[in-house]
Structures are given as C-alpha cells and as structure tokens.
Amino acid sequence: MKVIFFSTQSYDKTFFELHNKDYGFTLEFLDVPLNEKTAALATGAEAVCVFVNDKVNAAVLEKLATQDVRLVALRCAGFNQVDLAAAARLHMPVVRVPAYSPHAVAEHAVAMLMTLNRKIHKAYNRIREQNFSLAGLLGFDLYGKTVAVIGTGNIGQVFCKIMLGFGCRVLAFDVVEQEAMKQAGVTYAPLHDILPQADILSLHCPLNEHTRYLINHDTLDRMKKGAMLINTSRGGLIDTRSVIRALKSEQLGALAIDVYEQEESLFFRDLSDHIITDDVLMRLMSFPNVLVTAHQGFFTQEALTQIAQVTLGNLKAFVEKTPLLNEVKQV
C-alpha cells in the first residue's frame, strides 16, 4: 500500500522509515501541509498520513475520495482537525494514535510550569552574560499549592500524579471522573468551583464544540488573581485576546502555552528570517511572564517510536481488513 505523508519533518521520516522495515509499505513524504490546494498530491495513494495542523475538512476529504484515497491515518491523538461526519459519509475511515507516551506531554507541561515559576529561561540567558544577580527571578514553592486540571484522560492523569508528588493539592474537572484519580488523592469539582481556588490551572481536555474558548473573559475573571495558566492541549481552548487582557490587568499571573490557535501558519518551521504578521502572538511573546513553545509536548524518542509503530499497525489492520481498533468516529 502507498501512503502519502503531509507536513513531514525530518524526524517523521527517520522514525517511520526505521519502523516500516517490519511492514514494507511504500511511504512518500511531502513537507507541504494537507489542504484544498495540496490534496491533489495524494493521487495514487490509498492512504494519507497527517498531523495536527493539516486540514481534513469536507472539501479536502471529497478531493481525496475522488482520487481513491481510502484511509486517513492521523499520526497524533487529537482529531479536532477532521470533519468526521464528512469522512463517514465518504466511507473513509479515520484512524489515530490514541495515546503515545502521555508522559511526554505531561512532563512538558511540568517543565513549562517549573521554567515559568523559577524563571529558568531568564536565568540561563543572564548567566551567559555573566549577570549573576537574582533580582526578578523570585518564584514560589509548588509544595502546598492548589493545582487544577481540566481533563483527566491519559495526559491529565499523569500530570495529576506528578503534581501530587510535588505535594500539591490537586483539583480536577472532567465530564468523566476517574476512580483511580480519586484514590490517588485528586478531588473532582465543577469548573466554576475549582477556578477560584487554583494557583495553577492546566488544560488537558480535547478541543471540541463544548471546550472551544473554555478559557474566556468570564472564566479568566473567575480565576484566582495572579494564577498561572498552562495549555499543552489545543490552542482553541483559549480565547487569546481575553488572555492578553487578563495578563495586562494582572488578573492572570503567568501563561505557558505549547499550542496556539493560529499555530498552523507558524509552528514546526524556522521563520527566524521572516516578518511575523501575527500581532496577537507577538503581543503575547512581549510579556515577561509568558512562555511559548511550538507544540513540542509530544517530542520525545518514546513518543515518536510509538507514533510510528501504532500508525503502521493501523495501516496494517486496514490492509488486512482486521478491526480498526484506533478508528475515530463521530459520536
């Protein structure tokens, strides 16, 4: 089977080629993203393999279907970029990698929290310039602080456990409560109850019609003044303009984001020689208490290995007509 990869980075090619030795698929790697203009490049392939910022809307799926593409393989967990109703209508299964090292993302969220709190990014630059002053680097003990987690699925659960290990009080909100988390010491409560209590709020729920702009003017207003917000989930969970207002008024004390709503035109490429026209992101990056990473939460050796192995396994199941255990369907 021939599979065309969109939005390929060098590391995708390395890991997929390595593990494809066990499968023998014909893999073709394109660096362009999938969208209405590039869908034609999938001609001759039975499957496309796409990532978080590829556009898999109805128009793209229809184009793919007319070219006899029969499967969409996501090499990621989130599937908010796919029109699942259109895929079902076109009888085109969509498979994903439901969990690939939840530790990778949870640990990155913790790394961002720690960096922002203890100002490691500033200390690193300062020391390199022989400035050994501590002024402006004051942080706080995590021990005893209240951490709120929205979404206690694979990643949220790992994050909760790490925070419990730090000696934090952990509150959580999820539409499905996990007994194991309660046993571990996590207290579930409605969103409006946990917002005013949290010193740190970390988002680990998917982006869907219920969670879009979960963090908005009202929810920010309900948060404890000066709290820290961490988003390693999806950019659309946050109304960035409201967050900027809250940072300006100091209602929000600090922000760490690994994802950004408009990230598809920026992330995963070197734009150091370009003029960035996204004024919202540039305003965000001008705050001293904002830390931005470019969707690197998943980026560990273990996660890339699992992404390649599970995706190739999904393709194999499709070819062999065995049950697609990792299929995503519209609920």
Query: Which are the catalytic amino acids?
Result: 234, 263
Instruction: Find tokens 């128009």 and name the residue.
Output: 59
Reported in sequence order, the residue ranges of the chain that DSSP labels E, i.e. its strands, are 2-5, 26-29, 47-50, 71-74, 94-95, 146-150, 169-173, 187-188, 200-203, 227-231, 252-257, 290-292
- When the beta carbons of 138 and 175 are compared against ligand NAI, the nearer one is 175
Close Cβ partners of 12 (under 8 Å, ≥ 6 residues apart): 5, 29, 51, 75, 304
Find out whether 87 and 57 touch, Cβ atoms under 8 Å.
no
Neighbours of 88 (CB within 10 A): 14
Residue 92, φ and ψ in degrees, nearest 5: -115, 105
- When the beta carbons of 90 and 186 are compared against ligand NAI, the nearer one is 186
Least distance in Å: CB of 174 to ligand NAI? Answer: 4
Least distance in Å: CB of 223 to ligand NAI? Answer: 16
- When the beta carbons of 79 and 318 are compared against ligand NAI, the nearer one is 79
- When the beta carbons of 5 and 159 are compared against ligand NAI, the nearer one is 159
- For residue 50, what are its two tokens? 């796409």
Which residue number is nearest to ligand NAI in terms of Cβ?
153
End-to-end alpha carbon distance in the chain: 29
Binding interface with ligand NAI (CB under 6 A):
77-78, 99, 102, 105, 150-156, 173-176, 204-207, 210-211, 232-234, 258-259, 295, 297-298
